[in-house]
Amino acid sequence: MANETTPNTATAQDDKKKIVLSGIRATGNLHLGNYYGALQKFVRMQDDYDCRFFIADLHALTTHPDPAALHENVKQILAEYLAAGLDPEKNTIYVQSDVPEISEMYLLMNMHVGIGELMRTASFKDKARKALGISTADDSEDIEHQIIGNQTNQRVNAGLLTYPTLMAVDILIHHADLVPVGKDQEQHLELTRRFARRFNSFYKTDYFSEPVNFNFGSEAVKVPGLDGSGKMGKSEGNCIYLIDDEKTLRKKVMRAVTDEGPKEPNQTPPIPIQNLFTLMELVSEPSTLQFYKEAYANCNIRYGDMKKQLAEDILKVTLPIRQRILDIRDNDEYLSRVVRQGAERAREYAAATLADVRGIMGIRKF
């Protein structure tokens, strides 16, 4: 039965271009890390690939966001996608919940996913630890025991547990070839490949191919945060948002972590200072970066001056984007048109896949 299934025209029509899929949770504004780490590259990719970008509002429900805030976050991220240069005529841009086929296939795919393998995912255990106040030093068996024993904390919910299944469906329902993911999502992508293999093996078909990580190679950019630690991220509270106004942005940069300055010539900068140089490498002229690197090497750097220059150079990047965001965000008619058009395209692809999956699994109408 399953071997007779042939690809629908909706999933086969773009064979000439590889399908790239990427989504972002509707949990807040996009930041400089999103822009340089992904959006800028997506803009360059949109002529060469069949790109499908979505706003993951269903994924956001795992943290029980305020309903009014959720819709505003979706609207904000959509405006930021468009302001950054994603073209709705070249890409399929949609809101996850506007494609109900995703939810049904999520249910079906969960029938072939083990609870144990989901509980062992690093992201679930990390979020469960934080929700239950469990120390990271606790062993995995103790964590799983406490999770199972806690029946009142809704922050550790079934949606959080099955997050990898929904992510897999996001990918597989489009037969995506390439999925750009960071290190924190690599395990989820590997689970997607595992689920695809398992489905194919169980139903004796080769229906799903295995997606791979879209590796930007030498173009990969890790944008550091302002707190002197790791990468820029919403959860770390160390972001420069694309929507930040001039005053807010300057204040954030001037508060960036530094030290007392170099003690001897040609000293290797500590991580917080390296982070500032990395940011400057992204936004400043090469001569500006070289000036401050030489000042550091010669032990006469003035961090205040460096931060002021860095803020100026970041503003040259973000202020035009901010203005486009504000203009687009206020145009409800345009935003509605974009998501309706995107949902129509996405549902065409998704409905074709869901029909095939239902048939393969034996779910048929009389």
Q: Is 316 a known active-site residue?
A: no
**324-346 CB burial, b ≥16 within 10 A, e <16:** bbeebbeeeebbeebbeebbebb
Q: Give CA–CA dist 139/6, Å, rounded.
A: 47
List the catalytic residue out of 18, 90, 231, 293: 231
List the catalytic residue out of 18, 234, 293, 308: 234
Q: Is 231 a known active-site residue?
A: yes
Confirm if 181 and 189 have CB atoms less than 8 A apart: yes
Q: Give CA–CA dist 183/239, Å, rounded.
A: 19
Q: Give CA–CA dist 288/26, Å, rounded.
A: 36
List the catalytic residue out of 41, 75, 125, 127: 127
Nearest to 54 by CA among 85, 25, 14, 18: 25
The residues annotated with a catalytic role in the active site are 127, 231, 234
